Amino acid sequence: QVGSACGIDEECSSAVTNSYCAADGACKCKFGYYSANGGAECRPLEIGEGSCSSDTECTAKIPSSECANGRCRCRVGYLTSEDKTQCIKR
C-alpha cells in the first residue's frame, strides 16, 4: 500500500502497480501517478484528479497541461476531454 514502509521497490510494486520504494523508506506512486483508494492504487494523473507539484508531472502524462493549485489542468486554449486524459486544442 502507498505510504507503507519498504526496503526495496518490489515490496511496493508487487502490492500496488506503478509504485516504488522511495528514499525515505515508504512506498510512493511513480511520477505521473497519484495515490487513490486509500493508497491501494496508483492511478495515472487526470485533469482535476490526484495531485501534482510541477507542470512536468502533468505534461508527462497529459500534453498541453499544467499544474495549478496542486491539480493538473489544461493550458489556456485547450479543453479537457470527456475522460479527463487529454487536452484538446480549441
Same domain, 82 and 62: yes
Q: Is residue 3 part of a domain?
A: no
Q: 0.85 cut: is pTM over it?
A: no
Q: How many domains does the chain have?
A: 2
Same domain, 40 and 63: no
Long-range pairs of 85-88 with CB within 8 A, sequence gap ≥ 24: 85/44, 85/46, 85/47, 85/61, 86/62, 87/47, 87/62, 87/63
Structural domain span for residue 17: 9-44
7-65 residue pLDDT tens:
999 999 999 999 999 999 999 999 888 899 999 999 988 999 888 889 998 998 899 99
59-82 residue pLDDT tens:
988 999 999 999 999 999 999 999
Distance, in Å, from the CA atom of 88 to the CA atom of 38, rounded to the nearest integer, reads 31
Same domain, 15 and 37: yes
Same domain, 14 and 40: yes
What's the pLDDT at 53? 87
Q: Is residue 35 part of a domain?
A: yes
Q: Is residue 49 part of a domain?
A: no
